[in-house]
A and B are shown apart, each in its own frame.
Chain A
Amino acid sequence: MMKMLSRPAAAAALAATLLMGAILPAAHAATRSLTYAMYGDIKDWDPAIAFSLEVVMLVNVYEPLLWYNPPGSERRFTPALATDWSSSDDGKTWTFNLRRGVTFHDGTPFNAAAAKACLERTMKMKKGAYYIWDAVTSIDAPDDHTLVIHTSRPAPIDLIASSQYGAYMYSPTAAEKGTEWFNEGHDAGTGPYHVRRWDKGQQVVLEKYNDYWGSWKDDQFDRVFLKVATENATQIQMLESGEADFISLVPADAMKRLDSEEGITAQLLPSWKNSQFLINVRKPPTDNLEFRQALVHAWDYSTVVKDIYAGSAVSARGIVPATMWGHDPNIKTPDFDLEKAKRLIEESGVPEDQRKITMAYISTSEEYKNSALLFQQNLKRIGVDVELKPGPWGAIWDRAKHLDTAPNLQSMTWWPTYPTPSDWLIGLFRTEDPTVFNLSHYSNPEFDKAVNEGVRLEGIDRDAAIKQYDKAQQILMHDAPAIFYADLKTRMARRSDIEGFEPNPAYNAVFFYRLRRTH
């Protein structure tokens, strides 16, 4: 070893290596490429299972029968693999006419038999978001281009078919190779891009699918790099240098600065994510209605969204985001009124020495932390002690599920799998046993009835369904099983020379096929 070290040649060789490195060969090919910085790697490649940040890849590689249009669009849906569709009067039979001349990336033709096989596989696997289909009893393929879905109860199959998870069509031939095959980084979609390669922990490369039914124009992107960059400082540097065209991790306080930089656009996009603190209705002292109502009035709504969320949220008006259909417009954000809160606490009859609550939230979130600290200060002024219990999601979720370890307040951010208000009402507040996400441990037969009735009506009479959902939302405002405080916006920053970007809160992703670079 020493001999090697004492020779200058070795050192020179090393120096040469480093020098070579310094002459950065960008190796830019003549293809049109786009780079999107992801905060983590793809985990589940099987479209029947994927239920997380995979959506970034999914919407570009796969297609559902229908796409849901952003609120305010002329029509609710854009035809994807179905060109038109209809439902029976009882909402239990849905007929889709399928698009012709479509092939999966493996060459298998897309037809009714393929769609049937694919949906049946998704339902049978019982993984991911399969349960959106749980009303389905059978699927028929009377001819190559007609798919008929039968349900046990009226169900909004058009909405379900546009879900951002669990509704993508994939090649049944490819799927026979199993989940392991997908998890090696393979895809089997019909979308405009196919997965060219996957370098674990580094990048996913999407490449245009030449036989895409939507055809290609010259100025669209041939390649899209989904680069893994876990730290927001890294993502910002990549955007500033032009290495990345889109970044997904933008701290609230960096928005203004980035937007003022030449060549960068930082935008707040509409989203259907919202944040609340769920209040445990079975654990003292929050099992007391007046006490819970007091907490609702002790929350400083405007300071939280203006200062803590730095404008990237608006005060919530109930559990359903205000931009989602079915939101009850009569519901307002409660007042922040400490006098009123104090009065309610006195009226609650909770003895002074028991006015103590615990508050759990995800420790990595600055927003949760600062909101909780502010709340703690305000409650102190009216004689309520708050013990903060931050932790990783897995740990706090586990504790919150069981009454003996559950906190009084639990942070929760929710978004819909497919665009329906029932996602929040069922997921968070309908009676549940065992507890999964109803971490308020809330159970109210009247509320359950309104929700179930709304779900039944959604597939046949939307207006009637909305009435039931309105009722359910009003019950929640009275029962106070949560502090509904923020409708979130998605923070996104991109290079300004990218055009064609249309945000859609129904999908937490960017549709690369629609983008172009201006010169």
Chain B
Amino acid sequence: MVVGILLGVLAITFFLSRVLPGSPVEMMLGAKPTAAQIEAARHELGLDQSLPEQFVLYVADALHGDLGTSLRTRQPVARDLVQRATATMELVTLAMVLAVVIGVPLGVTSAVRRGSWRDHGARVFSIAGMALPVFLIGMLLQMLFYGALGWLPLQGRIDGNVLLDHAFPNVTGFYLVDTALAGDWTAFASAAAHLALPVATLTLAALATVTRIARNMMVEALGEDFVRTAQAYGLPATTIHYRYALKATLIPMLTVIGLTYGYLLGGSVVVEYVFDWPGLGSYVVGALINNDFPAVMGVTLLLATMYLLVNLVVDLLYYAVDPRLRSS
């Protein structure tokens, strides 16, 4: 089934990207190509063949692990994707963890103290996070922490000088992990500093969803019989809320977190653009604008795969957290 879904996604993307106006030829060539160069490029790209033929060729190559060469970056798409995906995952994973670490307690507190100032405060906060456009949050943070205070870097993944003077081996592609493995704390600090603003921006965007879901689920769970029983036993409130009630919300929470994570992997476009983050988002935008077919196809394939994987992981986690599923 997974293969079927991926093939379907590929076919849709393939034909959609080809009916869009424009041609990738001028991307391949320089500023002022000749007629002969254009013809040669069309042939090289296989654009002189019929669409079904092109599709079959693409799928055959993809099955051999060859996703082609990006017309825009001149690099093998597979290599581009690996580099870009790790950059995005580092950003998105941190943001997701933070959103959960902050959002879940916030949601729980709101649910426990429904109608209190904390509840209203949390709600205003999460609505604001949802309503404010991501680019606006990002640019405001840039103006404050870079422009006015000068505390944090403006853009990029790491300081240029650090890459030269503190070169660290590329092991995982996650700068935080790689610099820590190398034990180079200057490079680590630079990577962390560069992560701060884009992560904060993404966290604010994801926080709203997490907080609201956590609150609603908790409100529901707090009305259950087992909570009343626990209260009757005189268990401490924190234990009831975090140990028992929260546990009952895990399944829907996991679904939401999984979906949000999958969405952020492809949806961090704006943040990556604002912060010049060399990730998948900025890659796919450049590819789309420039009719860079091989890159568009590659990103689609990767995102679809990752989305499926995240769903699979979420499904597996259901088993881990819910004993009822295990026993049946």
Contact = CB atoms under 8 A, between A and B. Distances in A.
B30 A49 contact: yes
A473 interface: no
B32 interface: yes
A392 B287 CA distance: 13
A430 to B, nearest CB: 13
Interface in A1-35: 1-2, 5-6, 10-11, 14, 17-18, 20-29, 33, 35
A336 interface: no
B212 interface: no
Contacts, number: 186
A488 B286 CA distance: 26
Interface stretch (A223-231, A337-345, A375-383, A458-466): A223-231
A394 B26 contact: yes
Contacts of A128: 29-30
B70 to A, nearest CB: 9
Interface in A164-212: 165, 183, 196-197, 199-203, 205
Nearest to A33: B161
Given A51-B29, A399-B21, A417-B32, A25 B190 contact: yes
A228 to B, nearest CB: 6
Contact of B101 (A5, A165, A203, A223): A5
B317 A1 contact: yes
Interface stretch (B151-159, B221-229, B294-302): B151-159
Contacts of A234: 142, 154-155, 274, 276
Interface in B13-48: 20-24, 26-27, 29-38, 40
B192 interface: yes
Interface size class of B (residues with CB under 8 A): 35 or more
Contact of B27 (A26, A238, A394, A434): A394
A427 B32 CA distance: 9
Interface residues of A, number: 72
Interface string A106-127: 0000000000000000000011
B196 A18 contact: yes
Given A44-B74, A128-B30, A241-B147, A21 B289 contact: no
A501 B98 CA distance: 47
B186 A237 contact: no
21 contacts: A2-B246, A5-B104, A20-B193, A24-B150, A27-B186, A29-B164, A29-B165, A41-B73, A43-B72, A52-B30, A126-B36, A127-B37, A128-B30, A129-B30, A197-B163, A201-B283, A202-B278, A237-B147, A241-B146, A243-B154, A436-B35
* CB-based closest 8 A-B pairs: A51-B30, A201-B278, A394-B22, A395-B22, A395-B21, A21-B192, A21-B193, A21-B196
Interface of A: 1-2, 5-6, 10-11, 14, 17-18, 20-29, 33, 35, 41, 43-45, 49-52, 126-129, 131, 165, 183, 196-197, 199-203, 205, 223, 225, 227-231, 233-234, 237-238, 240-241, 243, 391-395, 397-399, 417, 427, 432, 434, 436-437
